[in-house]
Structure 1
Amino acid sequence: KLQTPLFVGQFDGTAEQAQLPGKLFTQNIGAHESKAPEGVLPVSQTQQGEAQIWRREVSSRYGQYPKAQAAQPDQLMSDYFFRVSLAMQNKTLLFSLDDTLVNNALQTLNKTRPAMVDVIPTDGIVPLYINPQGIAKLLRNETLTSLPKNLEPVFYNAAQTLLMPKLDALSQQPRYV
């Protein structure tokens, strides 16, 4: 199943402003958790090598982890949750609802996980196959699965109106090898 993107950006602030992303994360990321003492679950802040990492568990019926895996499962309002993460290493900011993507990106930055540029042969021929019909079908199925009409009517209608015509056009494109 498709889950979430990884957002990568550059931080151009001064050393004094380096805590601003973490403060923004703490103030703006989270769901109302009525069982939590402060109304939201706490943000954990850790240092991992040169990276500063902020994480918060956030209830969501679409979350990737079951409630039982939460640090404080009794305070979650949903049976599933995301481990939303923000990391800053040097001037690079990483954000995702999926903490695994942030962890993998940090490993890539630290050269403990290979980047694509490191594993593709520089002087070899790399075959590439693009299947627009398959991509369009996958995106259509994932979109409609994650946006049930009766639970998410606004997003469902937006997807039908704005996204589906683009996917139809994509599916008409030829395959490339």
Structure 2
Amino acid sequence: ALDGAAGLCWYADSKLQTPLFVGQFDGTAEQAQLPGKLFTQNIGAHESKAPEGVLPVSQTQQGEAQIWRREVSSRYGQYLKAQAVQPDQLMSDYFFRVSLAMQNKTLLFSLDDTLVNNALQTLNKTRPAMVDVIPTDGIVPLYINPQGVAKLLRNETLTSLPKNLEPVFYNAAQTL
């Protein structure tokens, strides 16, 4: 079961549709495998070229972290089909590398595997944490980095404007 504080984080170098979810898992040792089972059963797209109808989940141990990953076809995916482990089994030209990780009691999930990897580095103290940025004398329910939000929204706007169909809007958006 999830317990305590949880967070949803967007990053400038990712996509609007791929935030990082961070939560605290409060369960017994037996229940610790439940998130991985739920991930395996519920995350994935129908891949008719895959033998089992979905691509397999890879499960790895990285230090204290247990990590589950599955490549999932999507026309909005962040990786090109050629970068997949089994590109011939994908139904789309793009895919997400959806990831779930649990380290101690911290649960991390995102469609962007890079965000999960970065969060694991933060937990392992090899990457700076938000606690180094926010004030220590109060509760901060929301933190906004204006430059990061601006970069994220600018990238999403440019991605969503078809360059050939909307050249005026595309050029205007590039100059902002």
Give the TM-score taking structure 1 as reference length.
0.70
Whose radius of gyration is greater, 1 or 2?
Answer: 1
Q: Secondary structure at the match of 1:123?
A: coil
RMSD: 6.7
SS at match of 1:15: coil
- Partner Cα distance (2:122, 2:161) in 1: 32
1:117-141 CA-partner distances (Å, limit 9, x unpaired)? 3368999999999898996997598
Rounded Cα–Cα distance in structure 2 between residues aligned with 1:94 and 1:129 = 19
- Aligned equivalents of 2:75, 2:44: Cα separation in 1: 14
* Distance in 1 separating the partners of 2:106 and 2:168: 34
Mean CA deviation greater in 108-117 or 54-63 = 108-117
* Unaligned ranges ≥5, structure 1: 162-176
Consecutive unaligned residues of structure 2, counting only runs of 5 or more, are: 1-14
Summarize deviations over 1:6-63 as a string: whole Å, max 9, x none.
Answer: 0011111100111000000000000000000000000000000000000000000000
CA contact (8 A) 2:60 2:68 kept: yes
Output the CA distance in 2 between the equivalents of 1:47 and 1:88. Answer: 10
Q: How far did residue 2 of structure 1 move?
A: 3.7
Give the whole-Å Cα distance in 2 for the aligned partners of 1:27 and 1:155: 42
Deviation at 1:115, TM superposition (A): 1.2
Deviations 1:45-82 (CA, angstroms, capped at 9, x unpaired) = 00000000000000000000000000000000000000
**Per the alignment, in what secondary structure is the counterpart of residue 68 of structure 1?**
helix
Pairing 1:124–2:129 present = no
Task: Find the counterpart in structure 2 of residue 159 from structure 1.
Answer: 173
CA–CA distance in structure 1, aligned partners of residues 80 and 65 of structure 2: 27
Match of 1:73 among 87, 90, 95: 87
Residue 93 of structure 1 aligns to a residue in which SS? strand
SS in 2 for 1:87: strand
- Identical counterparts, % of pairs: 98
SS in 1 for 2:101: strand
Q: CA deviation at 1:143?
A: 6.9
Relative to structure 1, the CA distance from residue 122 to residue 24 in structure 2 (aligned partners, 3 Å threshold; closer, same or farther) is: closer
State the distance in 1 between where 2:72 and 2:155 align.
25
1:133 to 1:74, Cα distance in 2 relative to 1, 3 A: closer
Distance 2:169 2:42 in 1: 22
Which residue of 1 is the match for residue 152 of structure 2?
138
What count of residue pairs does the alignment treat as equivalent? 162
- Structure 1 residues 11 and 151, CA, compared in 2 at 3 Å: closer, same or farther? farther
Return the alpha-carbon distance in structure 1 between the equivalents of residues 74 and 173 of structure 2: 20
Which stretch of structure 1 is more off in the superposition, 111-120 or 72-81? 111-120
Shift of 1:114: 1.3
